[in-house]
Structure 1
Amino acid sequence: MKKSVEITNLPIISILNGSQLGKVKDLVIDPENGSVDFLTVEQEDWQVSVKAIPFKKVIGIGEFAVMVENESSVIDLNEIPIANQLVNKKIKIVDTRIISRKGQLVGKATEYFVNDESGDIVGISLHSNERDVILHADHVMTYGKDIIIVDEQAANFFVDSPEQLFEEKPLIIEKQEEPTSVNAGSDTELRALKQKQIELLTGKKVTENIFSQAGDLIIEAGSILEASQIEAAQDAGPTVFVKLSMNIEE
Structure 2
Amino acid sequence: MKNSRQVLGLPVLSIEEGKQIGIVKHLVLNPELGKVSYLLVEDAAWYLGLKTMPFEAVQGIGEFGLTIGSRSALSAVADSPEVIALLEKNLRLPGTQVLSKKGRLVGTIDDFIIDENNAGIMGCQLTLVRGEKPAGIIPRKSILTFGRDFLVVEENIENMLVADIQESDAIPAATQESPNFEKSDKQPVDALEHFEEQQRKYLIGKKATMKIVADNGEVVAEEGDTITSEMIERAKAADRYIQLTLNIRD
Task: Please classify the TM superposition score into its range, dividing by the shorter chain length.
Answer: 0.5 to 0.7
Larger relative contact order (Cα-Cα within 8 Å, sequence gap ≥ 6): 2
What residue number does 1:72 align with?
A: 72
SS in 2 for 1:145: coil
Q: Give the superposition deviation at 1:44.
A: 4.3
TM-score by length of 1: 0.66
Runs of 4+ more than 3 Å apart: 165-169
Instruction: Identify if the C-alpha distance between structure 1 residues 168 and 35 changes in structure 2 by more than 3 Å, giving closer, same or farther.
Output: closer
Asked if the contact 2:9–2:25 (Cα under 8 Å) also holds between the matched residues in 1, the reply is: yes
Greater Rg by CA: 2
Comparing 41-50 with 63-72, which one deviates more in the overlay?
A: 41-50
Query: What are the Cα deviations for residues 143-198 of structure 1, in whole angstroms up to 9, with x where unaligned?
Result: 12221111224332111x224x44558xxxxxxxxxxxxxxxxxxxxxxxxxxxxx
User: For this pair of structures, how many residues does the alignment match?
Assistant: 180
What residue number does 1:196 align with?
A: none
What residue number does 2:174 align with?
A: 215
* Aligned residues: CA RMSD: 2.4
Asked if the contact 1:96–1:108 (Cα under 8 Å) also holds between the matched residues in 2, the reply is: yes
What does residue range 31-70 of structure 1 map to in structure 2 within 5 Å?
31-70=31-70
Asked if the contact 1:122–1:136 (Cα under 8 Å) also holds between the matched residues in 2, the reply is: yes
Unaligned runs of 5+ in 1: 170-211, 217-235
What does residue range 108-187 of structure 1 map to in structure 2 within 5 Å?
108-128=108-128, 130=131, 132-159=135-162, 161-163=163-165, 165-166=166-167, 168=169
**C-alpha distance in 2 between matches for 1:30 and 1:43:** 23
SS in 2 for 1:72: helix
Query: What are the Cα deviations for residues 52-84 of structure 1, in whole angstroms up to 9, with x where unaligned?
Result: 120011111111111000001111122221111
Unaligned runs of 5+ in 2: 184-250
**C-alpha distance in 2 between matches for 1:98 and 1:118:** 25
**C-alpha distance in 2 between matches for 1:56 and 1:157:** 31
Q: Give the superposition deviation at 1:101.
A: 1.3
Q: Give the superposition deviation at 1:27.
A: 0.7
In the alignment, residue 149 of structure 1 is paired with which amino acid? V
Q: Which structure features the higher share of helix residues?
A: 1
SS in 1 for 2:126: strand
TM-score by length of 2: 0.66
